[in-house]
Every structure is written in structure tokens, then in C-alpha cells.
Structure 1
């Protein structure tokens, strides 16, 4: 018996054994409990829905908020992926959640993790918060349950991209960084904003991204997909850029054979440490990798869920989705997105 790179090898049998929180034993989406018998990768059959949440790094004394919420839908054929983002400021009904005593109510959807995360003594558990986020997205979309879920904070995101050697992706518009200078160092802050009371506290030269295809370093990719200030459609443009990044990373994984190499996949995912939490509903990350090795990344489709501001009188309360979104969610549940998009091409992100 040999332990190597997070893998336990005994005889000719390979059993995944991740440390940290990469395999969360059903703690995100309510799958099989720890110790449940493992199922075979071949049991993973489409259609499948995966819920992804991106959060800012924070300690367990700070309530988490999901800055990015993305659903990946894999049709029955298992050769394609549709990606759609849920606007983080979408004003929704958040269901009651017994573990924290939350009675339910209306709020921006990115607060769902916060309402679900409290575990007492002023501490917060992002995995428990994700459970309420999943319930909220289920209530919004009608997707009965998610087949996998993942949380990654942006520090872990950077480590994964570094382990991959960067990522090649197409930039579709001019973007200026709110946070970084051209060399990647932080921009200076106004002295008057030391108390964090300013919306835009930074001054000085800005890192700029121009349209074209580039191989981005990890810090550049992270910086690019976090920007929304100054973009024509603000967070909606940022959602598209995040979907473009996922597609670009999937291409890197497929082209470099990572998805079929347990050792390489373990090394790359292990670089994220506790910054990545994955719940595969009884299947490991490697099981999912093997099941999805036939995906054609050129056929990954980025979906645009348009919306606009929702107001209570003159007070902005959040975002609302445009008409037709409910019909799209029905198409997701019934695994007929392709037919829906043929009839409604305006839902496809042309620049992705």
C-alpha cells in the first residue's frame, strides 16, 4: 500500500482519498453521508446540474456571501455544457432554514449563504451556508436537486490557475482594473478612504485588458474576471467573463490531458487547499473527471440571463430577471436547452 499525491494505491486498485475539503461527503447538496459505499463513475449519467459558488477569502468569523453563482447543465448526451450565471443581486425569496433559525424572506440571492452559515459563537460555516444557497437556487429555477456542488474562494482560484501554468482566453472588451496597477501590484488608496467608506478608493495607474486572445497569468485572470466597475452592463458583463474563464480552463484541462491523469488532477486541485470544497454526491472529483472526459469544450455554451433594476419607489432593492427566464429554467429542467436556444437566440452570449 502506497500513499502518493493524495491517492491511496493498494494492489491494482486506485481509490481517491483527498484531504482538506475537496470531497465534502454530502455537506453541500445533501448527498450520501460520510462512509457511504462508493459508486462507480459510470453511474454518472446526464442530464446533470452542478452548482458553483465563488466567494471572497474570509475567516470563519465573517458571514460569507456568494459573489459568483453559476450553474453548469450537462445534457443526457454528456458531450456538451451550458453555463448560466445567477445575478448576485437578484432579489428573490430565500426559503426558511432550520439550522440557523432563519425564517425565510426576500433579499438579494448572494445573502443566502450568509443566512445559512451561522453555527453559533459568532462562527460561520460556508458549507452549511451553501446548503441554503442551493435551496434558494432550486426554488428560483425549479431544478429539483443538484448532482454536484463546489465552493471556491478567489485565493484558491488563483492557486489552481498557477498550477495549470496560466490560462489562454479571449478578452471581448476593454476592461480597466479597479484594484491593480499594470505590474499586478495593488493600486494606491486615497488617505481619506482609510476607513473603507469610499466606493472607489483607489488612485493611480490601472492594469488594462484589451480585446484579443491572450495567455493570462493567474493574477491577471483573477483580476479580469472580478471587474465590473466601468463596464457597460456592470455585473452582467462580469458574469459573461466568468463563464468565458470556465470555458477557457476546461479547454486547458482537456488539451493537457489533466482530466484523464489522476496524479495531475490531484496535484492541481490540491494546490487550492481548503479554498476549494467539492461535493460530488457520492462521487469524487476524479469520478466526475472520468465521466466527463468526452465533453467537447468547443461546444460549451454561455447563457445570458438578462435583467434590470428592481425598485421600491426610488429605492433600489436588487435585480430582476427579464421576461422569458422562467421558460429557460423550464427548458433546463426538461433537458431541452438546445431547442429553446434555437427559438430564443438572444439568450446566447455571442461574445463567449
Structure 2
């Protein structure tokens, strides 16, 4: 029942306004089937199912964090992280795609969407409609994947995962919290110091206010802290009031990914059957996963050499765009094209050596 599979519980996604990679050295076979395995990428080019084969690098994995909504609401990909694993499969390079990045979203026949230019976090919504006013995040993921492929030049993702922020909180709590280094002072837009929601101004009931909340704010100050699930989720969601807004938030998300992976690999988790049981149950109930024909366990074995200290956090250079004084979204620096070319050619190490400014040194 507790047989150990010497593996990393590969690239589990996180969060509402972020996404977290969960590294773990043990996956229990009894929970392998509890993960919601779906075909997130659609059929292969000839309409056949993806055939199972050995997992070999280089690999590209798409991780998406969504705000949980009911089936009548289109999902928004509030956090998008691409994980590139080089041919030797002994490292993981993580880069975030800004949620407000303005891109060309391709047409999508399943929903009749004709394509258009919009913020990238809208792609899941455009691809999610399944009729009768219902929306399916798994179907929306397919259009998001196509959009990210078009943006980056990545020909195909080898795996993908969706996790909502409620599931992320449950995983962190099941781990007993996560210790991480906070690199800048952050105030919460959403929560009070005790974790309860901040009250909302009555005039903002229609969701048109940019800052609808008032009252005391939870604060996260520079230093090393052990965060509970609600604190971790709240911290990695924040962008308001930060000097670099969403780019600071992306860095914090990637820092938490590494901290979470390090703790998941610690003896405190992998040698504690009760805690491990809770972690795997939380992950299995929250995760939608597509391994392109391979199970979570298969991916665990494939990524067994990746640890927190060989995860490289990357920042894509970009800036906010304005039209007539109004914010319209984010745009990437022209050099991002060279970065994406290096991803496609599996030459990221060389690119980062020549462009050290791309590495999040504080992660």
C-alpha cells in the first residue's frame, strides 16, 4: 500500500493568480488514478490518440493556474508557466507568461471563435464553451496551449496541467505549510492580517473599482517565513503596489515553486506516511493532468533527477502598454524572440550564459 516509487511528482500546477510546481520524491500507486487525466491538447494531427512511448528530453510542459468558477463562467488562466526540461533531463527552466500579455489568439473551431487579438488569459475562456451556457476548463486549455505555442514557437507541449487556487491551498496545508524567503515587502489587496477577506466598498459592488477593498491588510515582510496555505496563496497573488507589478508577482510565484519543491523532497514529507497521504489526496482531487499518454507515475520516474537546486527561474523582459493614457496590457521585449528560439533549439543554458539578465537571481 505504501510502496515507494523513487520519482518526482513532476510538474503539478498551482494557484489562482500564480502556479506552483510540486516536487516530490515519492508517488504512491494507490493515488495515481485519483488525478483527473484528460486530453487537454485535443487529438493528434491525424485524429488518432497519442501513442505511449518512453519519455525523453527535451520536454516542454504547460502549467496553468485558474480561479475556480462555476460551469456557467468562462475560466481565466490567471497564471501561465512553461517548464522546459533539456535533453539530459537534469534541470528545469521555468518562465512565466504575463497574464495580461497582448497576443494573437488563433481560431478555435470547437467554439466557433474566429481568432483575435486580446490578453492571453482570455484564451481559455474563448475555448471553453461546450454549449447550454456551460464552460469546460480542459477544453479551454487546448486553445490556450495553441496560443502559447504560437507565441513561443514551441511545436508541441509534452504534458500539461491545470490546478485551481483552492486546490493549491489544500496542497500547501497538507504539507504543513512551506518555508520560503520573501524578497520584498508586500501588502495584501484581498485579505486582513487574520486571513479573513477585507470588506468591500458598497459603491464597488459592480466590480468596476480598481481597488474595491478597505481596512487592515495582511503584510509579508522581507525575511524567511513559514507560510500556511492561505498566506502562501495570498502572497503569490499580489501585484498591486509592487514596483514591477505582475513581473514581481511572477518572480514570487517561481520562488515559491522552488521552496515548495524543496520541502516536498524533504524527509518531513516523503517519510511521513500520514502527511504524504494528505498531500497526494489534495493533489489528486485538484489536478487536471494530461501526460500525452503517460501517467503521473511515468512522469515521476522521467523527472526523478530534478531537484529544487537545479530549477532555474527565468524572467521575460517586458513593459506595460498604454493607448491614449489607458492601460491595454503587457508587451514583451524584442529579445524574447531569441529566448524562445533558444527554447525551441534546446539551447537555453547557452542563451542564459550570454544573457544573465534573464535569470531571477533572487529566486
Q: State the TM-score, normalized to the length of structure 1.
A: 0.88
Match of 1:305 in 2: 316
Point out the more displaced range, 286-295 or 332-341: 286-295
Match of 1:27 in 2: 40
Measure how far apart 1:261 and its partner are. Answer: 10
Quickly say closer, same or farther: Cα 1:276–1:296, change in 2 above 3 A.
closer
Instruction: Pick the aligned partner of 2:153 from 138, 142, 164.
Output: 142
SS in 2 for 1:146: coil
Residue pair 1:260, 1:289 contacting (<8 A) in 2 also:
no
Match of 2:20 in 1: none
Q: 1:59-98, aligned counterparts within 5 Å?
A: 59-98=70-109
Quickly say closer, same or farther: Cα 1:291–1:3, change in 2 above 3 A.
closer
SS in 2 for 1:346: helix
Quickly say closer, same or farther: Cα 1:225–1:31, change in 2 above 3 A.
farther
Q: What CA distance in whole angstroms lies between the structure 2 residues aligned with 1:141 and 1:164?
A: 34
Q: 1:250-261, aligned counterparts within 5 Å?
A: 250-256=261-267
Match of 1:237 in 2: 248
SS in 1 for 2:34: coil
Structure 2 segments unaligned to the other structure (5+ residues): 4-28
Matched positions, count: 338
Instruction: Pick the aligned partner of 2:339 from 303, 328, 352.
Output: 328
Residue pair 1:38, 1:283 contacting (<8 A) in 2 also:
yes
Match of 2:185 in 1: 174
Q: What CA distance in whole angstroms lies between the structure 2 residues aligned with 1:284 and 1:87?
A: 29
Quickly say closer, same or farther: Cα 1:246–1:99, change in 2 above 3 A.
same
Q: What CA distance in whole angstroms lies between the structure 2 residues aligned with 1:172 and 1:3?
A: 38
Residue pair 1:259, 1:293 contacting (<8 A) in 2 also:
no
Structure 1 segments unaligned to the other structure (5+ residues): 5-13
Residue pair 2:43, 2:49 contacting (<8 A) in 1 also:
no
Aligned-pair Cα RMSD in Å: 2.8
Quickly say closer, same or farther: Cα 1:150–1:240, change in 2 above 3 A.
same
Residue pair 1:262, 1:286 contacting (<8 A) in 2 also:
no
